[in-house]
Structure 1
Amino acid sequence: MAGEWEAKFSQWAQPPGDTEEARIQNAIKGIRDALDADAKLKSTTRVFVQGSYRNRVNVRQDSDVDIGVLYTGSTFYPEYPQGTTDETFGNSESAYSVQEFKRQIYGALIARFGTSGVTWGDKAFDVHANTYRVDADVVPLFEHRRYNTDGSFLCGVELRPDSGGRIINWPEKLYPHWPAQHYEYAVSKNEATRRAFKGVVRILRKLRYVMEGEGSESAKDIKGFLVECLVHNAPNENFAHGSWEKCVRAVLCYLWSNTREDATCQYWCEVSQLKYIFIGQPADQRAKVNKFLLDAWSYIGIVP
């Protein structure tokens, strides 16, 4: 059985093949060309690839690519220390609205792909797939600034869904004055583990898809991004084994053992090291993670 799983894991650890890669690149180029055709967007945005493809942990079931469109004008969204306001740091409200930015992006996309080729969603524009390109989520983003009391700040990105609220992410060090974020820490972990980190992430993401496809409720509760963040918290020695099966076994053992109680995982961070996995999330998230890890163990025949 171990040899059977080793063969599967060796395959799952690899990124998608050349054909899928070409369709991904076609989608990225088409969207960049569409946005560059709008003079204002070309001069006030930075287009970048994010998510599982950018971080090289995508698997074939990841059928789309995430493309961020960051507004680079004067508008940003702050997060202030308690008891401080715009006035504390000399900031003021911007006249440029989120909806105006979204309308401009939408116009550029339908000019290239047509109204039938683009769907305006709550968080992103869905540019539909065809035989030439994969499905793409185009995400309008603004700079997010997390302020310290001394006026210094950390920069990330902020998404404003149409349904309300704010989603703050830390995808990559897009500018020299930005801190290291998800992409940089993932690369560092991968190098420190001789590329085993991203291989194990792909394996567990693929395993989650397989389990979900067979009706696993616990797998449905866990997203691929969360899998990557969990694996990043496993110590490097867990990846220092002579086979994928042994690495997966060691990582699952560590993650399952340490998510049984809040005390051993409450301060675990996302890959960016700028956001907690469990603090600030629904109270049952840790229990759902632990159940998925236990089910994953059972699925591949490992007894805790």
Structure 2
Amino acid sequence: MERAERMVKAAIDAHPAFDGYRSSIKVYAKGSYANRTNVRADSDVDVVVENQHVTYFDYFPRSSAPSPDPNANPYTGRWDDPDDWREEVRLAMVRKFGGGDVDSSGEVAITIAEVTGSRPSADVVPSFDYRRYDSPDRRVAHVGSRVFKRSGGTVANYPDQQKANGIAKDQNTGGRYKKYVRALKNAENFLAAQGINKELPSYFMECLVWNVPNSHIALGGTLDQGFRNTLAYLFNNLLPAAYDYDDWVEPNDLKYLFYGDKWSREDGFKLVDATWELLGYE
């Protein structure tokens, strides 16, 4: 995985279109590999190629945006078209890996094919520097990255916050948090392969365990007892009669978990229920 990350960076460093802009390009890993929550069955690596020559921003909530915004300064430089940035990142990957190993048909990522024994598959994510301001005066700012989807629309990611929060939660649970994320991911992979449960994004499992209080994760003398307590909390709080799941958030602590169409509370409940049965808990 480290080799795949280095090769993507080398591809960006060698691409002529980025001459004069290299100091404004940041290449880094994100997702389960970067956060040490990856499992063997999900061995791909997410690599962000972030254009920091351009900074996008929003206000949260949107109603707090000043009008007119005294800080607005429209960008008119080389990378004013997000599609152009994505295309140059794609061409950089083609120059490095060959057209046959590069798939740019995805909604967000450009996928580099796996080479057995050499590197895993890599999802290269072209993005831009991003700020979310939680106050009109911009005193409360969250630094992230903005991704433009091929079909339109954008996605805001906060990899630094996710990584820092995950490290803290793991430390506060005696190293159990990330173990339980990996355990739930392995269970989901098995259940999906057996046709028992539908396949879900691996990040969803990390999100579910993130919302379990530390006291429940750390409860129990053995890892098995703690994982059982973790599943029990998720089961009870994802029941159709439960009401507090609307406040659940992603590990970055900045995005609500069940706002959108990526997954649902029912997806989480069915996964936890099937995992409970798989492990023979009573």
Is the structural similarity TM-score above 0.5? yes
Structure 2's unaligned 5+ residue stretches are none
Kindly indicate whether the alpha-carbon contact (under 8 Å) linking 2:5 and 2:47 is maintained by their aligned counterparts in 1.
yes
Shift, 1:113, TM fit: 1.1
> Deviation of residue 186 (structure 1)?
0.2
Q: Does 1:30 align with 2:11?
A: no
Where 1:146 maps in the other structure, the secondary structure is strand
Give the Å deviation of 1:243. Answer: 2.2
Choose from 213, 217, 229 the match for 2:207: 229
- Structure 1 position 87, deviation (Å): 3.6
**1:4 aligned residue:** none
In structure 2, distance between residues paired with 1:204 and 1:244 = 13
Q: 1:48 aligns with which of 28, 46, 56?
A: 28
Provide the secondary structure at the position in 1 that maps to 2:103.
strand
Shift of 1:238: 2.4
Q: Name the amino acid aligned to 1:137.
A: D
Selected match of 1:171 from 132, 156, 159: 159
SS in 2 for 1:265: helix
Within-5 A mapping of 1:1-304: 24-38=1-15, 39-40=19-20, 42-79=22-59, 81-82=62-63, 84=65, 87-95=68-76, 96-120=80-104, 121-131=106-116, 132-147=118-133, 148-152=135-139, 153-172=141-160, 181-217=161-197, 219-220=198-199, 222-240=200-218, 241-260=220-239, 261-278=241-258, 280-282=259-261, 285-303=264-282
Residues 55 and 130 of structure 2 are in contact (CA less than 8 Å); yes or no, is this contact kept in structure 1? no
Contact conserved, 1:31 with 1:109, CA < 8 A, in 2? yes
Q: CA deviation at 1:197?
A: 0.7
Provide the TM-score with structure 1 as the length reference.
Answer: 0.82
Confirm or deny: 8 A CA contact 1:65 1:134 kept in the other structure: yes
- Computed over aligned residues only, the root mean square deviation of the Cα atoms, in angstroms, reads 2.0
Q: CA deviation at 1:187?
A: 0.1
Q: CA deviation at 1:79?
A: 4.0
Code of the residue aligned with 2:171 in structure 1: it is: E
What is the rounded CA distance, in whole Å, between the counterparts of 2:122 and 2:262 in structure 1? 32
SS class of match (1:126): strand
Q: Deviations over 1:72-129 (max 9, x none)?
A: 1134243462263674243143231101111221222111111112111321111111
Supply the distance in 2 between the matched residues of 1:191 and 1:268 (Cα, whole angstroms): 21
Distance of 1:106 and 1:138 partners within structure 2: 9
Instruction: Look up the match of 1:19.
Output: none
1:87 and 1:298 mapped to 2: Cα distance? 57
Indicate the residue corresponding to 1:17 in structure 2.
none
Mapped contact 1:259–1:290 kept (Cα < 8 A):
yes
- Structure 1 stretches of 4+ moved >3 Å: 83-87
Q: Matched residue of 1:266: which SS?
A: helix
- Secondary structure in structure 1 of the residue aligned to 2:6: helix
Q: 1:164 to 1:284 in 2, by over 3 A?
A: closer
TM-score calculated relative to the size of structure 2: 0.88
Deviation digits for residues 192-228 of structure 1 (CA, Å, limit 9, x no counterpart): 11111101110110000000000023x42x3211111
- Of all paired residues, the percent bearing the same amino acid is 29
Count of matched residue pairs: 269
* Superposed displacement of residue 296, structure 1: 1.4
Structure 1, unaligned runs of 5 or more: 1-23, 173-180
